[in-house]
Each structure stands twice: as structure tokens, then as C-alpha cells.
Structure 1
Amino acid sequence: MDIATIIGLVMGFGAVFGGALLEGLHLTALIQPTAAIIVLGGTFGAAFVSFPMKTIIGAAKDIKKVLMPAQNDPEKVIKDLIGYAAKARRNGLISLEQEAQNVKDPFTKKGISLVVDGIDPQKLRETLEIEVTYYEEHAKQSAEFFEAAGGYAPTIGIIGAVLGLIHVMGNLSDSSKLGAGIAVAFVATIYGLMTANIICLPFGTKIKHGIKEELICKNMIIEGLIAIQNGENPHFIEQKLKAFLQHGAGDKKG
């Protein structure tokens, strides 16, 4: 479980509801099922219209990445690549064929197999970078889904507010219904803003951050494997790869 995400959600909702309590507002006033139905249904309904079902299912699955993100370890990637480099330097590139069978990461496994097959370094780079590009384009669709939902939510909240006011205006003669209508009107706006700024937009940002970390590792693997193929010194390869930890993937990609 990602502690930062849990703390953020607790702080976000806690600040809103805690602030309401400090203002003397009863929390029951903020619990409006009608407003929740309008905002959540309208927001995700609009998001469903905007994206294909495949992306929607992927976004739902990626909620797990927000709550329990993958633990990318660039230091371990460097250590593994240096190990491959040392072995290739001692016994030749063909000795990495056995290593490919034991590697769990599909991207690394594919790269080592291409190196063993003797593919041209430029072709190796092109092949792996195409896969990285495809991964990035596919992975960021979930982030785009949540960002789109975050954009719709405040507007849907306003729609809920307008509906609440319509209800109020239609019952001006019945004072007993005025309070409920006005409550729905204002609470719907709050729900829209909270859905956007505490859930959807932060979820999208978290997913994109995970993608960036994964891209760092993938680009490190590309540079490392090409260096191994070129027979570079393992110590030099290590220094080259450590630059990724200082500058990130963006400086190396392409």
C-alpha cells in the first residue's frame, strides 16, 4: 500500500470535513446521496463517452497502481546490467543466453535475446525504443481517463447545483423543501470539486509519475545493453547508467 496516497486522501477529505466541523457545520449536511449520484454518475458517464471500453477497463485496473504502485529499483537495474556486462566481457555475448532464460522482466529478456542474436546496435536501439514508445502511449491512457474525469467533475457539480436551485424555485411556496434543495445545490458543487481535485486529477498524476519511473528503468536497460554489445568496460557502463538517476529518462531518450 502506498503510504503517500493514503495520507493524501486522508488529508484531503479530512481537511474538507474537518474544516466544516470547525465552522460548526453538521457533517450530515454534507451527506447528500442525490448530489453524489448526479456528480459521480455524470462525471464518469462523460468519461465513458470519451474513451473506449478497453481504456476504461485499464484505468479501473490501474487504480491498484495508485494504491499499490510497482517498486521500480533503478539501482538494482544497474547492478544487474553490470553483472551481464562482466559476464559478457569474460565469456562473450553468447554466455548471456542463459541469463535471458532467468530474467523475469519481459523487456530486459527481449533485449538480452536480441543482443545474443547479434542484432546491429542501431537496430537494437530502434526495436527497443519502439516498444518503449508503445508502452508509454498505452500506459498514459489511464492517466488521461482520470484527468478527463477531473475536468468534467466541477462542471457536473455545477449542473447538480442548478438542478438543486430549480428544485428550490419550484417549491418556493413550501418552505419545508427549501433547505433540502439548497443543500443539494451547494453540496453538489463541493462533490464535483472534491472528486476532481482529491481523487481524479491526483490519480492521473500518480499514474504518470509511475510511468516516468518505469521509463527511466527501460531507457537504462537500452543504454546498458547497447554498451554491453559494444564491449564497453563494466565500470564505464555503471557510470553512464548512474547519470539516469541524476537527470532522469527525458535527457536520454531518443
Structure 2
Amino acid sequence: MNAIIGIVVVLGSVIGGYVLSHGQLIVLVQPYEFLTIGGAAFGAFFISAPMSTAIDVLKHIPQIFTAKEDSKAFYLELLSLMYELFQLARRSGAVALDAHVNRPADSEVFRRYASVSKNKTVLNFICDNLKIVIAGNIEQHHYEAIMDTDISTRKHHDNMPAASVSKIADSLPGLGIVAAVLGIVITMGDINQPPEVLGKHIAAALVGTFLGVLLCYGFVGPMGSLLEHQAAAKQARLKVVKSALMGYSIGLAPILAVEYARRAIPSNVQPSMEELEEGMKKGG
């Protein structure tokens, strides 16, 4: 929703200021400039990115408009799930987790926490790293290193769409200049035409530069930044899970393990200790 609001504000401010300054909107309608800049940017993107990355970027585009920020409720549900799993392991041994982590879709525990279960990245991270605990003793620093490697690999993958979109944004002003130069070439070819004809050609050329800069700083660049924020949010979720698992692995009581994880939650959505205790009561 924020992206849609931002686009409306950018367009309203730029076009509104132009019209209020007695500019003619029809002059800005230059479809061939759009074709030159947009087509060249799209082609350059496919040159610079392997097909897997290109497909991943296209999959992320809808998230710019539909993705929601993590809420306090999500993190409360995540911590409550971790607490219940730790409690189960404490009562019946780590082996009792085997059926749950191997078939989370059939687990009554995971079913109670729908928001977490729907997030496949978080769900897989929890299950994969609990399987290591079930498999046998592992030194804490090795366990932490395994999770760090997992998070680092996912971070690299999650950041690729944002980096690709940012590179597209960086190319747009230059492509706008290309469109403008082509417009000047056309103008020079009609140098014997009357001033009103030359004026239209020059205006069209300048619109190319305008579009390149506007698309870069008003739309595509901010979209790349938004994808970066979304990638950082994914990493934050995994770091919270990692903190809980590390607390459990060093022998902390379940309540202390999830409290350890609570401290890793971003401050704007971090629940209080009282909210966490209430959430665990509801979850259990």
C-alpha cells in the first residue's frame, strides 16, 4: 500500500507542479521515448542477470505492492511456537520433536501457529536446525556456525532481486540521455524545418532525459530500496529463531531461551516480557 501511495504522490507532485507552471501535458506524452528507455533497460537487465535471477526479480515485483511488514503478533506467535517445541523436548526428550519437524504439515503444534507455518523460509529454518539437535550432540560453536552459514546463504539470495532492481535504476538516467541524443539527431535531420517543428523535436528529446531521471529516482530506485528492507526483514526473522535455538542448545530453560530470542526482535515490533508471557499462555 505504501508503494502505491508513494507512486501517486510522486506523479501528483511532478505533474501537478508542471501543470501549475503552465506546462502542457501533451508534450510529456512521448511513447517512443518510453519505448527507447524502457526497452533498453529491460534488455540490459536480461544481459546482466542470469535467467534464475531474472525470474526471481519478476516474482518479487508483486511483493513491492502487496508485502506487509512483520507485526508484533507474528513475532509473538513465533516465540510461542519455539517455547512449545522446547517444552515438548524438555518433557519428552529431543526425539519427541522428530515427527513434528519431519512432517510439520501434519503437526498439531505447527498447525496452531498458522502465520509461522505459512512462512516456508522460517518453517524450514526451524525444522532443519532442530533436526540437527535431534541427530545428536553438536558443539555449540559448530551449531551456531551452521546456522550462520544458512542465514548468510539466504541473505545473499534475498539481496539479489534488490541489487538487480537498483542496477536497473542506476542505468535509467544514462538511457534517458541516449533517448535525448537520438532526439537531437532527429532534430538535426530536420534543421531546415520551421521553429515550431524543431521545438517539438527538442521537447521530445528533453522528455527522454526527464523520464530517465524520474524513473530512476522516483520509482525504480525506491523500489530497489524497498526490496532491500524486505530482505532485511527476512534475515531478522531467521536471527530471532537462531537466538532461540542457541539459547536452547546451551541449556537455558524454554522461557529463558525465548526471552533470549525476544531481545533479537526489531524494537518497533518487539513485544514486552508481559506480552510474551500472555502469548505463550494462549499458544499453549
* TM-score using structure 1 length: 0.89
CA offsets 1:69-100 (integer angstroms, 9 cap, x no match): 26543332222112222222222222222331
SS in 1 for 2:200: helix
Q: Which residue of 1 aligns with 2:125?
A: 107
SS in 1 for 2:263: helix
Q: Residue 160 of structure 1 contacts residue 184 of structure 1 at CA under 8 Å; is this kept in 2? A: no
- Shift in Å, 1:151: 0.6
CA offsets 1:35-88 (integer angstroms, 9 cap, x no match): 101111122222222222221111111102212226543332222112222222
CA offsets 1:97-155 (integer angstroms, 9 cap, x no match): 23312244211111222222224133332222222111111121111111111110001
| Equivalent residue pairs, number | 246
- Shift in Å, 1:11: 1.0
Q: Residue 93 of structure 1 contacts residue 229 of structure 1 at CA under 8 Å; is this kept in 2? A: no
Match of 2:236 among 207, 216, 223: 216
Q: Which residue of 1 aligns with 2:78?
A: 77
CA distance in structure 1 between the partners assigned to 2:254 and 2:44 by the alignment: 53
Q: Which residue of 2 aligns with 1:130?
A: 149
* TM-score using structure 2 length: 0.80
Q: Which residue of 2 aligns with 1:240?
A: 260
Matches within 5 A, 1:1-254: 3-69=1-67, 72=70, 73-100=74-101, 101-102=103-104, 103=110, 104=117, 105-120=123-138, 121-175=140-194, 176-246=196-266
Gaps of at least 5 residues in structure 1 are: 249-254
Q: Residue 243 of structure 2 contacts residue 264 of structure 2 at CA under 8 Å; is this kept in 1? A: no
CA distance in structure 1 between the partners assigned to 2:46 and 2:217 by the alignment: 19
CA offsets 1:185-222 (integer angstroms, 9 cap, x no match): 11111110121112221111111111111111111112
SS in 2 for 1:245: coil
Gaps of at least 5 residues in structure 2 are: 105-109, 111-116, 118-122, 269-284
Q: Residue 27 of structure 2 contacts residue 204 of structure 2 at CA under 8 Å; is this kept in 1? A: no
The more displaced of 37-46 and 62-71 is 62-71
Distance 1:119 1:44, change over 3 A: farther
Q: CA RMSD in A?
A: 2.0
